[in-house]
Homo-oligomer: A and B are copies of this chain.
Amino acid sequence: MPREIRFNAFEMNCPALHAPGMWRYPGDESWRYKKLRYWTELAQLLERGIFDGIFVADVLGVYDVFNGTPDAALASGGHIPVNDPLQLVSACAYVTEHLGFGITASTSFEHPYPFARRMSTADHLSDGRIGWNIVTSYLDSGARNIGLTGTLNHDQRYDYADEYMEVLYKLWEGSWEDGAVVRDTEKGIFTDPARVHPINHDGAYFKVPGIHLCEPSPQRTPLLYQAGTSPRGMKFAVDHAESAFVSGPSTRIIGDQVKTMRDLLVERGRDKSAIFVYSLYTVVTGETSAEAHKKYDDYRRYADTGGVLALWSGFLGHDLGRYDLDDPIEEIQSNAAQSLALAITGGDPNLHWTVRDLAQWGAIGGPAPVAVGSPAEVADELQTWVEDTDVDGFNITFAVRPGSFEDVVEYVVPELQRRGVYPTEYREGTLREKMFGAGPRLPESHRGAAHRIQPIASSAK
């Protein structure tokens, strides 16, 4: 019995995400990122394709590692200009019924007390379709603008993030009892004060004595996404995440990551399938294999090497501008870059990759594969990837907008449906229920559930 495959769309409120330069492709609509209708039309398209959700990445800074300036990022539109992702939710929720919304927000930029309200509000307005991609790190360029640089080291950032999560769980799960909002018109009680509890949080980083400002939203805690891959990041993910985004160039790398994560989950007392894993992928397809390959060759002519290197320098934290494009990749003095190169080349000493090769390989799709071919060929590749890695689905990103998503919905989704491995309709309920068939609240085994309030008052005054 072949495994089910699920799709999530990977987007960002900016001109270029994983394919800088592609905004120049004829008919590409990346410049419309700032227009509401780009997003509402995309949301409707994705819902026609039964995508679980749309995930919107975010940074609050500029990629200025490459050559020590933001020039290449600005010129290529790579993650800059970049608008607030959260504000896309209400309009997209208005035009859809089932699509989920995975919104990225860093624990570093907003205090958990007002942030808790933002997520509760989004969950209310979307009738329980909100997810939060927890980011614990930040670009130095962004941190400098809010006075944050150098205050916490990598591991401390995760301790800070753990306490941030604890405050949120207390506000979301432990402040308002179910049924606190009684709306008793006879007695004149909207909310029963006896059923709303101050959280009295007094920690190392935060002191939050009060009650949550919002009544319980459909999911209370939004569906939690995470993408940490460092050892400490992985520990954070298995403690908090319900879904994870992974990205890498080979089934071996992704398979190892997924196995490590599932083993750790069991070790920490959660089910090994408690985290739904999406693997980053780009799809280039059409009626035929030939048409798909022609598209791909077309796309690649628009790739912007400087823009790609600006993004990679940011991801790797290492200035690739120091090297000549013809330098062998072995000369890159960055462990992360060496690991990546090794993964791509398989360590084959006969593959003489240069910095240019690395840039061109990642020009479309970033640090993850591009499936190029007919609908059947793409379906084969995706099914093999799932079998070999134990991921649950794909985080589908784009080369061109909205063309890449249109092609997936038009060609690949029906092919997978014909094979009986892709949903033909949504499950009812909140995002958590659609994803897991259970909910709408956090499962009992999740650490957030420990902060759940036990009803201590059962009647209105």
Contacts and interface: CB of A to CB of B under 8 A. Distances in A.
Given A88-B90, A94-B94, A147-B207, 12 more contacts: A16-B190, A24-B188, A35-B125, A75-B461, A77-B190, A80-B191, A81-B191, A81-B214, A109-B111, A141-B210, A144-B209, A144-B210
Interface residues on A, range: 35 or more
A213 B33 CA distance: 14
A196 B74 contact: yes
Interface string A182-200: 0101001111110010000
A252 interface: no
B191 A87 contact: no
A389 interface: no
A343 interface: no
Contact of A191 (B75, B191, B211, B304): B75
A89 interface: yes
A122 interface: yes
A83 interface: yes
Contacts of A117: 60, 82-84
Interface string A435-457: 00000000000000000000000
Contacts of A82: 117, 213-214
A95 interface: yes
Contacts of A188: 21, 24, 75-76, 304
A19 interface: no
Contacts of A196: 70, 74
A36 B190 contact: no
A90 B94 CA distance: 9
A208 interface: yes
A305 to B, nearest CB: 10
20 contacts: A34-B217, A60-B213, A74-B190, A74-B193, A75-B189, A81-B176, A81-B215, A82-B213, A83-B120, A83-B213, A83-B214, A84-B118, A84-B121, A84-B122, A87-B125, A88-B125, A90-B91, A91-B125, A109-B114, A110-B110
Given A74-B190, A76-B190, A83 B36 contact: no
A91 B36 CA distance: 9
Nearest to A85: B121
A307 to B, nearest CB: 8
Contacts of A192: 74-75
A40 interface: yes
A69 to B, nearest CB: 7
A145 interface: yes
A300 to B, nearest CB: 14
Interface in A110-156: 110-111, 113-114, 117-118, 120-122, 124-127, 141-142, 144-147
B75 A190 contact: yes
A18 B89 CA distance: 29
A93 B210 contact: no
Interface in A30-89: 31, 34-36, 40, 60-62, 69-71, 74-77, 80-84, 86-89
A110 to B, nearest CB: 6
Given A90-B90, A188-B75, A209 B84 contact: no
